[in-house]
A and B are shown apart, each in its own frame.
Chain A
Amino acid sequence: MSEFAVEMHNVTKVFGDVVAVDHVTMGIRQNEFFAMLGPSGCGKTTSLRLIAGFERPTTGEIFIDGKPVGNTPPFQRDVNTVFQSYALFPHMTVEQNVGFGLEMKGTPHAELKRRVMQALELVRLPHLATRYPHQMSGGQQQRVALARALVNRPKVLLLDEPLGALDAKLRKEMQLELKTLQREIGITFVFVTHDQEEALSMSDRIAVFSRGKVLQIGTPLEIYERPNCRFVADFIGETNFIEGTVSEVRNGFAVLQSNGRTFVGRAGENVQPGIPAVLSVRPEKVQLVEQPATSVNSYDVRVMSVAYVGSDTRVVVRLGEQDIDVWEQNSVSTLDPNYFFAPGETAWLTFPPENALILTD
């Protein structure tokens, strides 16, 4: 068994004059929950379709379990797909839908029956075996689509925005269920999504796509805490950007000059003195204080707006020409309105250098 369930080696896919996937190289490990995350049109769905075999790479090679699959048609690949629209066969019952893959492989009737029921039990739908897809809710159809793919015991399960059509509550439930399912059956899940929260909460690792390229691959922690470029920092979670020029790089930290102010943060990839760069600092990683601090990264600001949202208070402050978001956790239980900053007040914005990243643009 190869270390990787799926590998893409320098894969490019061109449609007409559009480069949908641009020299993508990545390895998806065995039994890993892997998310491909990015905005629409970033190449994540095309990458999934390349792995499934619905599209052939223009250049490059794809390996499934260590074997090249260049010319293997989809019906001979050891992967199964859960489609965004589910693509259940409307003229077949749930049982027939789930049994279709086994039937195509010529599985004996008794074994087919048994495995179909097993798969339906896995998604907790055995009581609906004789229903037609149109007689079921979206969440149930989603589960049938899952059972229909899993019953074939693929090496890799490909999921194309499988939760996109569900309402928020059902979505949360299914996220948990998918994650549990993946641990139980222990196969590789490759999951396409544009929802960063979904990707963060479910995945072992995430590949962030933009314009056909993979910008960063890493664990949710790495992607959130150490984004390697401005796009990733911006796309995953919320952040504040301050643009400027790098004046110094030392011991893994960099100094950024911006409108006469000096900022210090962790130096990102390829950050060198003299180049334009951005400081990225997340709203929950900055603080507002009343007394001027003496340390670095301390600036006087004016409070523009204050919104109390329960778990935290979201303050917008103005630093020079620019608005900065500050999320202060409400770790103290108080009814005193004076405890909070009010619009119009002045305050000091501060954050330790370890909380900020200086990234190339």
Chain B
Amino acid sequence: MMQLFRRHPQLQAAALMFPGAFWLIAFFLIPLAIMGVISFMSRDALGDPAPPYTLNNYLDIFRDVRFNPSISLDGGFTVRLIEGLYVDLFWRSLWLSLISTVITLLIAFPVALFMARLPRRYRNLALFAVMIPFWTNFLVRTYALQFMLRGNGPINTLLRALGLAPIELLFTPTAVMLGLVYGNLPFMILPLYTSLEKFDWTMIEAAQDLGANAWQAFRRVMLPLVSPGVVAGSILTFVPAVGSYVTVDLMGGGRTNMIGYSIAQQFSTIANWPFGSAMALLMMIVVTVAAVLYFRSSRGEQRTIV
């Protein structure tokens, strides 16, 4: 065996790759292809996917679109040009995910910075602390968060004790946002920390030596150099947020709908697999395009001209 590998290094590479490749092909690419096929199918008398093949599922997503530019504060601050049941859903999902990603980034950056500045022996402890939440099931943690936000939960109890009016938090877009930020925070902190830990602080001294104030040193030197961490963290946060289901279900209570939740309904209660598949694939394309555009723009960031 070893001899065989020595003589044919390509064989060894193939053997090393096989388990991972097999797993991804069997459990990701094939199901995805099946879903792709289903998205072009119709439904038979029992509601199961069946031929004839059609574009209707995709067209249905845009069937009710009309031009209606507006700004609304419903479901978070939203700016839109066109209106329609599913287009709204897509737009709101992207918008809420974007805002939650920005909030997550703003919270995570100082944390990651603090961790990276700790003496070396405390850094692993801090990393460990960031990962502790993973020891508890996400569903359980989300229920716990639900309890916090309830009408007679700790937050409102505190507000009442301070003589303030209780606020309705649970089953609002704010609650969904809170849930998304909370759930995604570690995925933002970890890549940011990795970038910041490698950051050479002499760069900041060099910038200040050359006349940059703290903001200029951050903006022109630190941010471009840690941007790989910002990009990785943002994508790890944004992509799952767009398709999130558990958080939307438990924190939004069906009142703040997002695309992932809607897709899940197509597969379960509504049992329209072809339409659900079409929505899922479209979402994948939109998110991929958004991520690629983001990658591109952050590259440009590193190449600003004097």
Contacts and interface: CB of A to CB of B under 8 A. Distances in A.
A54 B221 CA distance: 17
Contacts of B224: 91
B205 A100 contact: no
Interface in B169-224: 200, 202-203, 205-213, 216, 220-221, 224
Chain B contact-residue range equals: 20 to 34
Contacts of B210: 75, 80, 100-101, 104, 148-149, 152
A74 B203 contact: no
A96 B225 CA distance: 15
Interface string B6-32: 000000000000000000000000000
Interface in A68-109: 73-76, 79-81, 83, 85, 87-92, 95-96, 99-101, 103-105
Contacts, number: 70
Given A90-B225, A91-B302, A96-B305, A74 B208 contact: yes
A105 B306 contact: no
A74 B213 CA distance: 9
Interface in B33-61: none
Interface in A13-36: none
B205 A83 contact: yes
A254 interface: no
Given A85-B202, A87-B206, A96 B306 contact: yes
A215 interface: no
B8 to A, nearest CB: 36
A81 B206 contact: yes
A95 B209 contact: no
A87 B212 contact: no
A74 B209 contact: yes
A73 B208 contact: yes
A149 B209 CA distance: 9
Interface string B286-306: 000000000000000011011
Nearest to B227: A91
A95 B306 contact: yes
Contacts of A242: none
A3 to B, nearest CB: 25
A92 B221 CA distance: 9
B305 to A, nearest CB: 7
A112 interface: yes
A52 interface: yes
B48 to A, nearest CB: 55
A83 B206 contact: yes
B306 A87 contact: no
A359 to B, nearest CB: 39
Nearest to A93: B306
A87 B202 contact: yes
B306 A152 contact: no
Contacts of B202: 83, 85, 87
Nearest to B201: A87
Contacts of A91: 224-225, 302-303
Contacts of B208: 53-54, 73-75
Nearest to B211: A104
B216 A87 contact: no
Nearest to A80: B209
B303 to A, nearest CB: 8
B209 A75 contact: yes
A89 B306 contact: no
A118 to B, nearest CB: 15
B205 A74 contact: yes
A103 B207 CA distance: 11
A271 B212 CA distance: 52
A87 B205 contact: yes
Interface in A194-217: none
A138 to B, nearest CB: 16
Contacts of A104: 210-212, 216
Nearest to B225: A91
Given A104-B210, A148-B210, A87 B302 contact: no
Nearest to B217: A75
Contact of B211 (A52, A85, A92, A101): A101
Nearest to B216: A104
A113 to B, nearest CB: 8
Nearest to B303: A91
Nearest to B305: A96
A79 B205 CA distance: 13
Contacts of A52: 205, 209
B164 to A, nearest CB: 43
Contacts of A103: 306
Nearest to A158: B209
Nearest to B224: A91
A89 B221 contact: yes
Contacts of B212: 75, 100, 104
Max chain B CB contacts within 10 Å: which of A79, A87, A96, A112? A87
Contacts of B209: 52, 54, 74-75, 79-81, 149
Given A73-B208, A87-B202, A91-B302, 11 more contacts: A53-B208, A54-B209, A75-B208, A75-B211, A80-B210, A87-B206, A91-B303, A100-B207, A100-B212, A103-B306, A112-B306
The 4 residue pairs across chains A and B that have the minimum distance between CB atoms? A101-B210, A104-B211, A87-B206, A87-B202
6 contacts: A73-B208, A74-B208, A91-B224, A91-B225, A99-B306, A105-B211
Interface of A: 52-54, 73-76, 79-81, 83, 85, 87-92, 95-96, 99-101, 103-105, 112, 116, 148-149, 152
